[in-house]
Chain A
Amino acid sequence: MDSHAVATGALYGYRNQKSSSTNNFFESSVTLETFLFYTLGAVSVGSALMMVTRRSPVMSALYLILNFFALGGLYLSLHAQFIAFIQILVYAGAIMVLFVFVIMLLNLGDEKKLNERFSWKKIVGAGLSFGVLMELIFVFAFSKANLPPSHFEKATDIGTVENIGMQLFTTFLFPFEVTSVLLLAAIVGAVVLAKKKLN
Chain B
Amino acid sequence: MELQPYLLLSAITFVIGVVGVLSRRNAIIVFMSIELMLNSVNLSLVAFSAFLGDVTGQMLVFFAMTVAAAEAAIGLAIIISMFRNKQTVNIDDINILKW
Residues of A within 8 A of B (CB): 31, 33-34, 37, 41, 44-45, 48-49, 51-52, 57, 60-61, 64, 67-68, 71, 74-75, 78-80, 82-83, 86-87, 90-91, 94-95, 98-99, 102-103, 105-106, 108, 111, 114-116, 121-122, 125-126, 128-130, 132-133, 136-137, 140-141, 147-148, 150-152, 154-155, 158-159, 163-164, 167-168, 171-172, 175, 179, 182-183, 185-187, 189-191, 193-194, 196
Contacts and interface: CB of A to CB of B under 8 A. Distances in A.
A78 B80 CA distance: 38
Given A52-B33, A155-B53, A182 B67 contact: yes
23 contacts: A37-B1, A37-B5, A45-B12, A51-B32, A52-B23, A52-B24, A78-B49, A82-B62, A87-B42, A94-B69, A99-B76, A105-B80, A115-B92, A128-B22, A130-B15, A133-B15, A148-B52, A159-B50, A164-B59, A186-B74, A189-B77, A190-B73, A193-B74
B63 A159 contact: no
A137 to B, nearest CB: 6
B74 A48 contact: no
Contacts of A41: 5, 9
Contacts, number: 228
Interface residues of B, number: 70
B18 A132 contact: yes
Contacts of B26: 57, 108, 111, 114, 116
B76 A159 contact: no
Residue of A31, A44, A147, A185 with highest tally of chain B CB at under 10 A: A44
Given A95-B68, A126-B19, A78 B6 contact: yes
B32 to A, nearest CB: 5
A138 B19 CA distance: 19
A31 B77 CA distance: 45
B53 A106 contact: no
